[in-house]
Each structure stands twice: as structure tokens, then as C-alpha cells.
Amino acid sequence: MFKILVVDDEAKIREVIRTYAEFEGHSVFEASDGLEAIEMCKEQDFDVIVMDVMMPRLDGFSSYKEIKKNKEIPVLMLSARGEEYDKLFGFEIGIDDYVVKPFSPKELMARLNVIVKRHQKTVENEILEFEGLSIDLDGRVVFVDGAKVDMTPKEYDLLVFLATNENIALSRDKLLNKVWGYDFYGDDRTVDTHIKMLRNSIKQYRKFIVTVRGIGYKFDTRG
């Protein structure tokens, strides 16, 4: 069971999420706007945040970026808007998931379970090394020639999945399913955008991420 912070200016939305979350045995805390959420995160830790994008005083994206300065807490964004730009912007700043209102509370809880399990899962003392590219699975940290790389959680998860399936051609659909943890309702550009970000993050070792025409991508160190 885990600790959830629900941030939404609509009391009914907070109530619905609380009802379903508490039924599954989770602890739920509420904030009615982004500034309140930031203060709560300074005072205590949460396993996951459910945050609305459009809120008074401070929007969800800005609130999350502020929280992220001090703590690494996974977040699922809620929005009444389903524009692709909003989703891609959210993923670029490091959110874990994006759900458009109205939503299914059961599906929302399933997604939260996936997010928390993914963040809690570690492999003790295991480090993957490919020339000067090093992936610390326990610490969820990546190094390029000894220098720590600043990347989003999704970039990291994508890199680990590619690297642990070395030399296997992976379709975009499979990457969406395995990295995002469910049947993602989006298009191939979501994967392509994250691949582009990941390649930029790992610099010269972008050579390992090979485009497989008509299929998707693979992590190939054979040169």
C-alpha cells in the first residue's frame, strides 16, 4: 500500500480518487492547488502524486517542476485537455503518466499501481556498462564517461528497457506497452520524441540506439 497526494481544485475529483484509493488500502492526502502541494511535499514524502494541470494560482506543470527541485516523486497528470502538445510537454519535464478527464477511476488506480511499482523496483548492486555508458540500476543513475547524466524518469526507463534487451528489435507498440506499463493511448511520436531526448542525453553513445526501419528501435553495441 502506498501514500498518494491528490492535487485538484475540484473537490469531487479528489473525493472520487480518495474513495477508490482508500478502498484499495492506500493513504490519501489532498491539496486544492499547486502551491499547497509544494508546501506539503516539503513537509512529507509521498509515493505518487496525482495532479491536475489547470489549477488556480499555479498550474500543475509548474508545480511539479518546483517539487522536483527537492524530491523525486512520480506524478500522474490529469487534464480536461487532450492535446498532444500538452502530453509531450509533460513527458519532457519528467511526468510518468497523463490521463484526460473524464477518466475511469479503476483505470487510474491501475496506472498508479504500475507507476509506484516501477519506481520501487531496483536491482541491487547491478550496473550495466557499455564502453563509457554506465547504468546504475540500483541508484537509477546514468553516467557518460564518468559524468552523471540529467535525464527524465521516462528517458531512464526507456534506456534500461532497451539496454536489457540488447540487440533485439523492439517495435514502438512494445516500447509503449513495456516502458509505460500499459496499453498507451497515443501514437508513435511519443516513442520517437523520447528516443530523440534520450539520444541527446547520452551524447556520443547515441550510436547504440539504432533505428530499425519499419519496426522501431534496438540497442546495438556491436558496431
Secondary structure of residue 172 in the 3-state scheme = helix
Q: Is the pTM here over 0.75, yes or no?
A: no
Residues 14 and 112 in one domain: yes
In the DSSP assignment, the letter for residue 114 is H
* Domain-terminating residue out of 105, 120, 135: 120
Task: Please tell me whether residues 20 and 109 are part of one structural domain.
Answer: yes
**CATH number where 205 lies:** 1.10.10.10
pLDDT tens for the 223 residues of the chain, in order: 899 999 999 999 999 999 999 999 999 999 999 999 999 999 999 999 999 999 988 999 999 999 988 888 999 999 887 677 778 888 888 898 999 888 999 999 999 998 888 777 543 447 899 999 999 987 889 999 999 999 998 999 999 999 998 889 999 988 988 887 655 555 668 899 999 999 999 999 999 999 999 999 999 998 7
Do 146 and 210 fall within a single domain?
yes
Spatial contact of 34 and 60, defined as CB atoms under 8 Å apart? yes
Contact (Cβ atoms closer than 8 angstroms) between residue 66 and residue 92 = no
* Distances 7 to 33, 111, 114 between C-alpha atoms, Å: 6, 17, 19
User: Distance (Å, rounded) from C-alpha 96 to C-alpha 35?
Assistant: 20
Domain boundary among 87, 120, 153: 120
Per the structure, how many domains does the chain have? Answer: 2
In terms of domains, do 136 and 116 share one?
A: no
Do 98 and 46 reside in the same domain of the chain? yes
Burial class of residue 198 (count of CB atoms within 10 Å of its CB; 0-12, 13-18, 19+): buried
Half-sphere exposure of 1 (CA within 13 A, CB side): 9
Residue 88's φ and ψ, nearest 5 degrees, are -65, -40
CATH number for the domain harbouring residue 104: 3.40.50.2300
Residue 111 domain boundaries: 3-120
CA nearest neighbour of 68 among 127, 151, 158: 151
Q: Residues 9, 111: one domain?
A: yes
E strand or H helix at 104, and its extent? none
Does residue 208 sit in helix, strand or coil? helix
Same domain membership, residue 51 and residue 101: yes
